[in-house]
Amino acid sequence: MASLHVHHFPRTSTHQRLVHQGANSQRRSAILRALCCVGVVNCIMPRIIKIGSLFLATAFVAAAVWFCWRAHVDHRSIPGHIVRFLRGEDEMTQHFNDLAEDITNTPAMAQLQPWVVQTLKRYREGRLETNGCAQYYWDEPPAVRLSRAERPEFINHEWGITNADGEEEPEVFIVLDANRQPEAVAIGWYMYGVQIGPPEYVLSYHSNYFCPYERVKPGIFVYGNYK
C-alpha cells in the first residue's frame, strides 16, 4: 500500500508578514504623531513668541513708568538722583541743594540759627558739654565736637539717627578761628556739611583743602570737603 504524504506549508512566512505589517503600522502612526506635534508647535510657537514679547514690552514700560513716577514724587530716591544727575546736577550739587532745601523748607529748621547763637555763647562761657575733636573736620585748629546730650531734638530728627535716609549720622561741632575762638557751629558728614553762624557771619576757607561752599541764608552755608 502506497504511503500518503501530507505537505505542511510553513507558517513562519505568514507570521513574519503580519509582524512586519504591524511594525510598519506603528512606524506610520509614530511618524503621523510626530508630524502632528511639529504642526502644532509650528502653529503655536509664533503665538508664544508674540505673547512673550508683549509681556516683556509691558514689563519694560511698567518699569519705566514706575522709575519716572518715583523720580518725580521723590527726587532724593535712587531714580530721583539718577534723573537729577542726567540733567547736569552732579553729586556734590545734589547734596548742597538737598541741605539747602531742608534748611529753607522745613519749619523746624527755623530754630537752627537761634540755637547756634546760644550754643556759641554757652561755649564762650564754658557751659557747653563737648567730646573731643571732630573727625569730619580737617583744618587747623581742630573743631570741638559737641556731646550727644547737647544735640537738640530737631537736628536729630532732621539729620540724625532718625533720618529717613539712615546712611550716616553727622557730627555737630564748634568751628574755631585762628585765635581758637568760636566762630560757627557745623553739622558735618564725611564729604559735606552745613556751617552756621549769626546772620552777619561770612564763611571763608583758607586751608589746603578745596572746599566749595554756597550761601543758603545770611550766616548759613553748605560746604563740601575735598583734599
Domain range summary for the chain, segments of one domain joined by +: 16-89, 91-224
- pLDDT 10s digits, 161-203: 644 444 568 899 999 988 888 999 999 888 888 999 999 998 8
Higher pLDDT, 122 or 67: 122
- Residue 207 has what pLDDT? 45
- Residue 169 has what pLDDT? 80
**Mean of all residue pLDDT scores within the chain:** 79
Which residues, at least 6 apart from 91, have a Cβ–Cβ distance to it below 8 Å?
85
Number of helices (H), then strands (E), belonging to the chain: the values are 5, 7
Which residues, at least 6 apart from 73, have a Cβ–Cβ distance to it below 8 Å?
none
Mean pLDDT check: name the lowest of 3-12, 47-56, 118-127. 3-12
- Cβ atoms of 187 and 171 within 8 Å: the answer is yes
pTM to 2 decimals?
A: 0.66
Top mean pLDDT of 50-59, 130-139, 170-179, 207-216 is at 170-179
Mean per-residue pLDDT, 46-63: 81
Mean per-residue pLDDT, 74-97: 84
